């Protein structure tokens, strides 16, 4: 599946904006994302990610490929449901992967046609809005729709960096100035 996605900082009235656009609340989830380093390539350089996502409805192992365009976070995403996060982490470690970072967030998910609009409260970063469309192929029309929706809901320019990248920047003290320009390493 190709994930067409954009995110921006969430304004105070983000939820009202989503509802005015016709968004319907599907639920609220808590996510713990455990990211791994590869023993054979540098995911930061290749712009890929491998993670275990633990959320209320289950556990998923997800690979995210490099971003496909310069404006959004459109990329290949492959995800499989697994039964046991600890066993999956031990399996990955046995293959040489190592835990790199953990990202925690609370996500309110809204359905808006074929798009998911999420309000994310990310530990250590604050509040963001993400718009995502799942597609069979990379489609410029989907990218344009996602960018239009994010501009109608978000505050400021879209941010191409992942939460993992933003946390790394925050830890390094580089701040918001680097949000749009730093090279990618995750979803």
Residues identified as active-site: 35
Length of the chain: 187
Write the DSSP string, 27-73: EEEEEEEEEEE-SSS-HHHHT-EEEEEEETTEEEEEEE----SSSS-
């Amino acid at each position: 599946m190709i994930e067409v996605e954009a995110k921006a900082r969430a304004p105070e009235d983000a939820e009202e904006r989503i509802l005015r656009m016709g968004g319907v609340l599907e639920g609220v989830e808590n996510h713990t994302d455990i990211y791994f380093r590869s023993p054979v390539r540098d995911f930061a350089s290749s712009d890929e990610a491998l993670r275990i996502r633990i959320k209320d409805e289950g556990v998923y192992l997800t690979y995210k490929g490099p971003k496909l365009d310069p404006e959004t976070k459109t990329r290949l995403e492959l995800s499989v449901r697994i039964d046991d996060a600890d066993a999956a982490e031990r399996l990955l470690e046995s293959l040489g992967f190592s835990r790199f970072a953990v990202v925690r967030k609370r996500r309110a998910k809204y359905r808006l046609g074929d798009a998911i609009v999420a309000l994310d409260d990310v530990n250590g970063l604050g509040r963001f809005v993400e718009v995502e469309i799942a597609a069979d192929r990379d489609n410029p029309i989907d990218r344009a729709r996602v960018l239009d929706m994010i501009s109608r809901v978000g505050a400021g320019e879209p941010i191409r960096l992942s939460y993992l990248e933003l946390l790394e920047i925050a830890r390094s003290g580089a701040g918001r100035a680097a949000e749009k320009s730093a090279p990618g390493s995750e979803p």
